[in-house]
A = this chain, B = another copy of it.
């Protein structure tokens, strides 16, 4: 009945480079992405998007489109459920009704027998618009008398005010106070696989959605809410995900439109974005203008901080409210001496496409401002900036100004690691270049959460496990693997507890009908939360196996050895070995036998800060840190920046799988470099001009330096074997590190991203004219 390989005693893979469990299916082309699914009678969906950033919909004429052979449905906003949808505040229907608020807003959806017919049908739809005054920028948005994006509500989406300590007194007593303003630009998440979904109605009338997503359960809630269905009437199945980076969960409307159409037509519907559709349909990160005012005391300790942010969420707020909150306060928790904070954040509606969650979730914006700012302060103080940052870096055991309890904190070690690797000390001392190619070094640091108790008073994770008749272990979880290696991590944790190779563990695909509940892969939560649950599952199985083996062998559990998928009596009869498969079968095949299956839950000892008016509290079981150092060469004639070397150090607590950590670090750093130097969503009257990968210039392999990735293992007490999240933090410090290096190279401080040659040349010209002015001196 079963064939069981005899294993050698398997050493734990914890801390050893471990290839992803699902690498093989991707390399062989067998992985099934959402666009690969075909269903009997499946229709193809295409969406007509608004060409206007702000306009009243006067009329929609779908007659000609409906008459096209092969077209099954041409539906507009009036056909959608008469209820608003949105992440927290609900602001629009599934398709636009009465007016459009951004270029790209979904106005008409067509379902046809193939993609070509659907596209042809879109050409036959006639929509008459009456243009309305635009809200072109967040400044314009908040001006009195501005046009309103949403009727009668003003253009202020949300305003946050936080104050702790005695800020004014602290500033008054500061040895140095520095204030400056920084601006960041939106970043498109830039995954390889555009959004894709196939949805249908099953035999019981339930809506089934197979989609590329970070969280099947959050998506299920979204569809159910938008369609007015109970959650159990909706099933969401994760297709293989070709990258997500925050863009494939909750906010996006593409899978929702597909789900609605399938539900309405009662037929399978496929919706695969073109790249332009994806640029228009995906949320980019919010543009933020950050004004920092910081005070340090005579010891170089940051003692006062005031943060003012104005952010542009575009036409709908989505998660941008939360992104702003993160930009506003999270980086305060990096400073160990800081107790006086005042923050004001305002989020403005404009007629830009909506912005929201992208990798780093508000952290990159804050890190750009903060690290640029602190570098300037260190210079003003005459302290080496590494020293300054380390002096202020939180340590394990600290409780930060907002209540973060740091069980581990390797920020200072990250600074040490990158400064040493880049040759900081030596390069700081070298003579300044005088030619047209000038080198400079810069660095920056950042904090990120591993988990975040904010979606109700639970931030846990559940892993179910069973032992198969041939001694393998099958795990199921509601968290997602989008390529980051979550399933491999789970297999490692469970296998390690059981002393079997990871190849003996299968992790089942995520599906709301079948998997235990999980918030999904957001907030860098999966390693710390699901990892702990997987360890608990492994221990529970181990306990059951040992108890049964003890009974069968007639030996106390303490005398048993468990290794290589076998259990034996260490001293008395080492040759009588019971395999996991034998024990699994024996567990069932006896009077009153039961299958060997366990459910393990881990909910961290964190606090639902959102439930307190002052939002004070320890929101995450662990906090990750990262630092990055770069050496650049700036061409003073062209303004071109070349990164000569970069080192990123990630305090992920413990690298359960260094291969995965390095992969995430390099990917995140590349994304940070792209945001700093190359990527810019260009708008003209709120219309995206470069919605394609030729004009929106994400860095290619050739344009990236070798990224040296280092790991700091701070051993988080709450972490599985000490681990924290490792997928987002390394995205944060890049932009500031480059800006600092550019300043080091040519003395030009770029406070507005991206760092373009034009801005550098303008800065050089400004410096030159300042130099030429009487009494000029360099800062």
Interface of A with B (CB < 8 Å)?
1-5, 21-22, 24-26, 28, 30-32, 36, 38-40, 201-205, 221, 224-225, 228-232, 240, 456-458, 460, 462, 468-470, 472, 474, 476, 506, 508, 513-514, 516-517, 585, 588-595, 597, 599, 601, 603, 605
**B232:A597 contact, CB within 8 angstroms:** no
Closest to A472 in B: B232
Q: List 11 contacting pairs A-B, 8 Å CB cutoff, sorted by A.
A: A1-B221, A3-B224, A22-B204, A24-B205, A32-B203, A231-B468, A232-B474, A591-B605, A592-B603, A593-B601, A595-B599
**B38:A203 contact, CB within 8 angstroms:** no
**A203:B25 contact, CB within 8 angstroms:** yes
Closest to A585 in B: B456
**B458:A593 contact, CB within 8 angstroms:** yes
Shortest distance in angstroms between A472's beta carbon and chain B's nearest beta carbon? 4
**B230:A24 contact, CB within 8 angstroms:** no
> How often does this chain occur in the complex, in copies?
2
Shortest distance in angstroms between A243's beta carbon and chain B's nearest beta carbon? 17
- The contact of A506 among B231, B232, B476, by CB within 8 Å, is B232
- The contact of A232 among B204, B462, B468, B595, by CB within 8 Å, is B468
Shortest distance in angstroms between A41's beta carbon and chain B's nearest beta carbon? 10
Closest to A227 in B: B3
What secondary structure prevails in chain A residues at the interface with B?
A: loop
With known contacts A3-B229, A595-B516, A40–B31 Cβ distance under 8 A: no
Shortest distance in angstroms between A384's beta carbon and chain B's nearest beta carbon? 44
| Bound Cα distance from A601 to B458, whole angstroms | 30
Closest to A466 in B: B516
Shortest distance in angstroms between A23's beta carbon and chain B's nearest beta carbon? 10
Complex contacts, A591 vs chain B, CB 8 Å: 457-458, 603, 605
**A22:B468 contact, CB within 8 angstroms:** no
Closest to A596 in B: B517
| Bound Cα distance from A40 to B32, whole angstroms | 10
Complex contacts, A516 vs chain B, CB 8 Å: 595, 597
| Bound Cα distance from A240 to B28, whole angstroms | 31
With known contacts A232-B472, A603-B593, A203–B26 Cβ distance under 8 A: yes
A32, A240, A594: residue with the most chain B Cβ atoms closer than 10 Å: A594
| Bound Cα distance from A594 to B460, whole angstroms | 8
| Bound Cα distance from A508 to B237, whole angstroms | 14
With known contacts A4-B230, A203-B25, A595-B462, A517–B225 Cβ distance under 8 A: no
Closest to A516 in B: B595
**A231:B32 contact, CB within 8 angstroms:** no
| Bound Cα distance from A677 to B595, whole angstroms | 46
Q: Contacts A32-B40, A458-B589 given; 12 further ones with Cβ under 8 A?
A: A2-B231, A3-B230, A3-B231, A26-B203, A230-B472, A456-B589, A457-B590, A460-B593, A516-B597, A517-B595, A593-B603, A595-B599
- The contact of A590 among B229, B458, B594, by CB within 8 Å, is B458
Complex contacts, A22 vs chain B, CB 8 Å: 203-204
| Bound Cα distance from A514 to B237, whole angstroms | 14
Complex A-B, nearest 9 residue pairs according to Cβ-Cβ distance, in ascending order: A25-B203, A232-B472, A30-B203, A456-B589, A230-B470, A232-B468, A594-B601, A458-B589, A3-B230
Complex contacts, A472 vs chain B, CB 8 Å: 230, 232
**A231:B1 contact, CB within 8 angstroms:** yes
- The contact of A588 among B31, B204, B224, B517, by CB within 8 Å, is B517
| Bound Cα distance from A588 to B230, whole angstroms | 18
| Bound Cα distance from A593 to B459, whole angstroms | 9
| Bound Cα distance from A3 to B221, whole angstroms | 10
| Bound Cα distance from A517 to B585, whole angstroms | 11
Shortest distance in angstroms between A313's beta carbon and chain B's nearest beta carbon? 23
Complex contacts, A513 vs chain B, CB 8 Å: 474, 506, 508
Shortest distance in angstroms between A46's beta carbon and chain B's nearest beta carbon? 21
| Bound Cα distance from A597 to B22, whole angstroms | 28
**B224:A2 contact, CB within 8 angstroms:** yes
With known contacts A469-B231, A470-B230, A506–B204 Cβ distance under 8 A: yes
| Bound Cα distance from A225 to B1, whole angstroms | 6
Complex contacts, A603 vs chain B, CB 8 Å: 591-593
**A514:B517 contact, CB within 8 angstroms:** no
Complex contacts, A31 vs chain B, CB 8 Å: 203
| Bound Cα distance from A629 to B456, whole angstroms | 64
**A40:B40 contact, CB within 8 angstroms:** no
Complex contacts, A30 vs chain B, CB 8 Å: 201-203
Complex contacts, A595 vs chain B, CB 8 Å: 462, 516-517, 599, 601
A458, A470, A472, A506: residue with the most chain B Cβ atoms closer than 10 Å: A458
**A36:B40 contact, CB within 8 angstroms:** yes
Closest to A37 in B: B40
| Bound Cα distance from A295 to B591, whole angstroms | 39
Closest to A468 in B: B232
**A599:B597 contact, CB within 8 angstroms:** yes
Complex contacts, A240 vs chain B, CB 8 Å: 203
| Bound Cα distance from A40 to B198, whole angstroms | 15
| Bound Cα distance from A31 to B240, whole angstroms | 25
Closest to A473 in B: B232
Complex contacts, A221 vs chain B, CB 8 Å: 1
**B202:A25 contact, CB within 8 angstroms:** yes
| Bound Cα distance from A275 to B60, whole angstroms | 53
A204, A590, A605: residue with the most chain B Cβ atoms closer than 10 Å: A204
Closest to A462 in B: B595
Complex contacts, A230 vs chain B, CB 8 Å: 2-5, 470, 472
**B588:A458 contact, CB within 8 angstroms:** yes
